[in-house]
């Protein structure tokens, strides 16, 4: 088995060979620090020692997490000259302490405000399956770094789907925890109410390990679960509308495989619960309102420095009134109670992560109407569960070598993150057989 140092050298060589594309995936590379960490992990392994299951794993960080001595750009050109971070974010500290080999920072949508992944300042990384297609956002480089096999684990953020979307588009696993599980200190915010931090990896087990480390827990193996007898809900309504034939086919095949092994499916008449987040925010979103507050100075004095598409969405937040915003928060609390009660009747939910497969970058680059239509459809399913603050995971559906990736979303009960991961691991194993 290759050592951590050997795998790091392979990744650094691969990034160099990728040329400009490598710079579109990683905005910063910490080659020297990563080599020191890899060599230390290898030295421990040679003595039969280990800091745990993440020791020696190659890890990338989304460029909104603070790394001591480095500038946190959050995908924005205007932040290139910002003061370097004084300290590592707590999740970065925990990853280092667990032996992670942090390679560098990955590219992202400006200020994490899009599910597409296009960035006019740092470039747009190509999809891991087909480079002319979008990577998904906002954790674009994170999804590509795992999808291309450059790292074992990528750390992203998820406010409306920004971990699960690039996971689905790039054929990886992506996990969004219940918000309170992982500290967001040292992570440049998009929405105080909805932001969460989560991992992308090639397996549920690696996501579970990273999640435990990020949450400050000692990583332990997931409890064994059987697919047989799992009560899986299929929430009816919005999540199934406008889905492509490929997405519906892959989702139905997954359902059939699970049914054959004894999972019990129920169609849930939750049309109102699925539609409520979008209907409630039809005149403006919580994200837009809070992003407008976070960036109020830049919106007043540095407008030309923004990605115009991000600017237009933030401007909508500036026009929202305080009564409207407060009502959104109060209605969300009411609906969360309703959803939490409804979730007691199932073990988890299953639905498509995204309604479509990854569009081509060229089709969205210059066409604002096409961009915003795609962005809305891409974020639609995932954002529902940020609104309800439920843990959610995107699992890649089985596919042939040349097929575009499709994600299957699994959703658990609030604060039952480990239970969701355990069930997801059982489902993953069955779908891979």
Task: Identify any residues that bridge with 393 across adjacent strands, giving them in sequence order.
Answer: 175, 410
Residue 266: the pLDDT is 98
Same domain for 160 and 69:
yes
Same domain for 182 and 62:
yes
Same domain for 116 and 238:
no
Non-local (6+) Cβ contacts of 322 within 8 A are none
CATH code where residue 49 lies:
3.90.1300.10
Q: Helix and strand tally (H, E) in the chain?
A: 16, 11
DSSP H/E element including 299: helix 296-301
Rounded Cα distance, 60 and 144, in Å: 11
Q: Is 114 in the active site?
A: no
Rounded Cα distance, 347 and 385, in Å: 15
- Residue among 374, 326, 375 nearest 112 (CA): 375
Residue 256: the pLDDT is 98
Q: Is 62 in the active site?
A: yes
Indicate the residue among 214, 240, 275 that finishes a domain. Answer: 214
- Does 310 fall in a domain? no
Read off φ and ψ for residue 174, nearest 5 degrees. Answer: -140, 135
**Residue 274: how many other CB atoms lie within 10 Å:** 21
Same domain for 235 and 111:
no
For the stretch 172-195, pLDDT in tens is: 999 999 999 999 999 999 999 999
- Does 225 fall in a domain? no
b/e map 240-265, b = 16+ CB within 10 Å: beebbebbeebbeebbebbeeeebeb
- Does 384 fall in a domain? yes
Say if CB 336 and CB 388 are below 8 A apart. Answer: yes
Domain containing 19 equals: 4-214
Same domain for 361 and 281:
yes
Which one is catalytic: 4, 57, 60, 62? Answer: 62
Same domain for 157 and 249:
no
Which one is catalytic: 4, 60, 140, 162? Answer: 162
DSSP label at residue 361: H
Q: Is 312 in the active site?
A: no
Say if CB 103 and CB 30 are below 8 A apart. Answer: yes
Structure tokens, 151: 């790292």
Helices marked H in 367-416: 368-387
**Residue 423: how many other CB atoms lie within 10 Å:** 25
Q: β-strand 153-157 against 58-62: which pairing, if any? A: parallel
DSSP H/E element including 108: none
Which one is catalytic: 138, 139, 145, 394? Answer: 138
Rounded Cα distance, 167 and 406, in Å: 9
- Does 321 fall in a domain? no
Read off φ and ψ for residue 130, nearest 5 degrees. Answer: -140, 115
- Does 324 fall in a domain? no
Same domain for 239 and 210:
no
- Does 325 fall in a domain? no
- Does 298 fall in a domain? no
Rounded Cα distance, 144 and 167, in Å: 8
Structure tokens, 340: 């939490």
Residue 264: the pLDDT is 98
- Does 131 fall in a domain? yes
DSSP per-residue string spanning 131-180: TTB---SSSHHHHHHHHTTS-SEEEEE-SSSTTHHHHHHHT-EEEE--GG
Read off φ and ψ for residue 133, nearest 5 degrees. Answer: -100, 160
Same domain for 155 and 268:
no
Q: Is 234 helix (H, G, I), strand (E, B) or coil?
A: strand
Q: Is 224 helix (H, G, I), strand (E, B) or coil?
A: coil
Residues of the chain short of pLDDT 50, as ranges, are: none
Cα separation values, 289 from 187, 214, 295, 325, 381, Å: 19, 28, 10, 7, 21
Same domain for 251 and 116:
no
DSSP per-residue string spanning 95-106: HHHTT-EEEEEE
Say if CB 273 and CB 338 are below 8 A apart. Answer: yes
In whole angstroms, what separates CA 406 from the centre of its chain? Answer: 15
The gap between the terminal CA atoms of the chain, to the nearest Å, is 24
- Residue among 61, 43, 59 nearest 51 (CA): 43
Residue 433: the pLDDT is 85
Total domains in the chain come to 2
Same domain for 250 and 154:
no
Same domain for 384 and 236:
yes
Q: 308-318 and 286-294 are packed helices; what angle lies between their axes, rounded to 10 degrees?
A: 100
Same domain for 202 and 83:
yes
């Amino acid at each position: 088995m290759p050592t951590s140092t050997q795998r790091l050298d392979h990744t650094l060589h691969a990034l160099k060979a990728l040329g400009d594309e490598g710079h579109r995936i990683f905005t910063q590379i910490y080659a020297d620090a990563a080599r020191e960490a890899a060599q230390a992990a290898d030295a421990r392994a040679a003595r039969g020692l280990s800091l745990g299951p993440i020791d020696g794993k190659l890890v990338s960080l989304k460029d909104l997490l603070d790394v001591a001595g480095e500038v946190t750009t959050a995908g924005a050109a205007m932040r290139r000259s910002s003061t370097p971070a004084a300290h590592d974010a707590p999740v970065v500290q925990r990853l280092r302490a667990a032996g992670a080999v942090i390679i560098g920072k990955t590219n992202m949508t400006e200020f994490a405000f899009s599910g597409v992944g296009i960035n006019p300042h740092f470039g747009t990384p190509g999809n891991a399956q087909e480079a002319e297609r979008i990577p998904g956002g906002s954790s674009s480089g994170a999804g590509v770094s795992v999808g291309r096999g450059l790292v074992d684990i990528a750390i992203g953020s998820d406010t409306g789907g920004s971990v699960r979307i690039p996971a689905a588009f790039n054929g990886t696993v992506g996990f969004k925890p219940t918000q309170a599980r992982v500290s967001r200190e040292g992570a440049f915010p998009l929405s105080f109410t909805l932001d969460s931090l989560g991992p992308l990896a090639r397996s549920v087990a690696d996501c579970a390990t990273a999640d435990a480390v990020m949450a400050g827990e000692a990583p332990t193996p997931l409890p064994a679960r059987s697919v047989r007898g799992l009560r899986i809900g299929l929430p009816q309504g919005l999540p199934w509308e406008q889905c492509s034939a490929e997405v519906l086919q892959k989702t139905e095949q997954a359902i059939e495989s699970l049914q054959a092994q004894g999972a019990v499916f129920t169609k849930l008449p939750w049309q109102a619960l699925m539609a409520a987040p979008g209907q409630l925010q039809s005149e403006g979103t919580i994200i837009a309102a809070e992003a407008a507050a976070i960036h109020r100075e830049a919106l007043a004095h540095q407008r030309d420095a923004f990605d115009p598409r991000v600017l237009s969405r933030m401007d909508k937040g500036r026009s929202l009134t305080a009564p409207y915003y407060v009502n959104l928060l109060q209605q969300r609390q009411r609906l969360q109670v309703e959803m939490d009660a409804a979730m007691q009747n199932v073990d988890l939910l299953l639905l498509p992560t995204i309604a479509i497969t990854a569009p081509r970058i060229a089709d969205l680059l210059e066409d604002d109407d096409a961009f915003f239509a795609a962005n809305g459809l891409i974020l639609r399913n995932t954002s529902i569960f940020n609104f309800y603050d439920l843990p959610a995971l995107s699992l890649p559906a089985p596919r042939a070598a040349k097929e575009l990736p499709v994600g299957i979303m699994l959703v658990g009960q609030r604060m039952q993150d480990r239970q969701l991961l355990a069930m997801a691991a059982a489902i993953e194993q069955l779908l891979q057989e």
